[in-house]
Amino acid sequence: MPGQSVGAVQSQRAHFDEPLHLRSGGVLPAYDLVYETYGTLNAAKSNAILVCHALSGHHHVAGHYADQPENVGWWDNIVGPGRPLDTDRFFIVGLNNLGGCHGSTGPSSINPATGKPWGASFPIVAVNDWVHAQARLADRLGIDSWAAVVGGSLGGMQALRWSITFPERVRNAVVIAAAPKLSAQNIAFNDVARQAILTDPDFHGGDYYEHNTRPVRGLRLARMLGHITYLSDDQMGEKFGRELRNSAFSFGFDVEFEVESYLRYQGDKFAGYFDANTYLLMTKALDYFDPSREDNGNLTATLARTRANFLIASFTTDWRFTPARSKEIVSALLANHRNVSYAEIDLNFGHDSFLMEDAHYHGVVDAYLRNIKL
Partner 1 sequence: MTHTLGRPDFDVIAGWVKPGHRVLDLGCGDGTLLKHLIETRGVHGVGVEIDDANILAAIRNGINIVQGNLEKGLDEFADQAFDHVVLSRTLQTVRHTEGILQEMLRVGREAVVSFPNFAYWKNLRSVLDGRMPVSEDLPYEWYDSPNVRFFTLLDFEALCDKMGLIIRERHVLDEQGNRVDSSESRDVNFLGSLAVYRLSRNR
Name the site residues for partner 1 (rule: CB under 8 A). Answer: 311, 327, 330-331, 334-335, 337, 339-346, 360, 363-364, 367-368, 370-371
- Closest to partner 1 by CB, 172 or 229: 172
Count of C-beta atoms within a 10 Å radius of residue 206: 19
Q: Is 163 a catalytic residue?
A: no
Q: State the catalytic residue, choosing from 163, 351, 352, 362.
A: 351
Q: Which is nearer to partner 1, 219 or 364 (CB)?
A: 364
CB of 76 to partner 1, least distance (A): 23
Crossing angle, helix 184-198 and helix 216-230, to 10 degrees? 160
Among 5, 104, 108, 153, which one carries the catalytic annotation? 153
The number of CA neighbours under 13 Å toward the Cβ of 139 is 10
58 versus 338: smaller Cβ distance to partner 1: 338
As measured in angstroms, the least distance from the Cβ of 153 to partner 1 is 19
Nearer to partner 1, 148 or 221 (CB): 148
Q: Which is nearer to partner 1, 234 or 346 (CB)?
A: 346
Task: Determine whether 318 is an active site residue.
Answer: yes
Q: Say if strands 110-111 and 116-117 run parallel, antiparallel, or are unpaired.
A: antiparallel
CB 67, min distance to partner 1, A:
40
CB of 230 to partner 1, least distance (A): 23
Comparing CB distances to partner 1, the nearer of 32 and 344 is 344
Residue 254 is a catalytic residue: no
For the bound state, the minimum distance from the C-beta of residue 341 to partner 1, rounded and expressed in Å, comes to 5
User: How far apart are CB 366 and partner 1 at their closest, in Å?
Assistant: 9
Q: Which of 134, 121, 107 lies closest to 16, judged by CA?
A: 134
Name the residue among 323, 329, 343 with its Cα closest to residue 300: 329
Cβ–Cβ under 8 Å, residues 162 and 146: yes
Cβ at position 31, least distance to partner 1 in Å: 38
Q: CB-wise, 269 or 370, nearer to partner 1? A: 370
Active site residues: 153, 318, 351
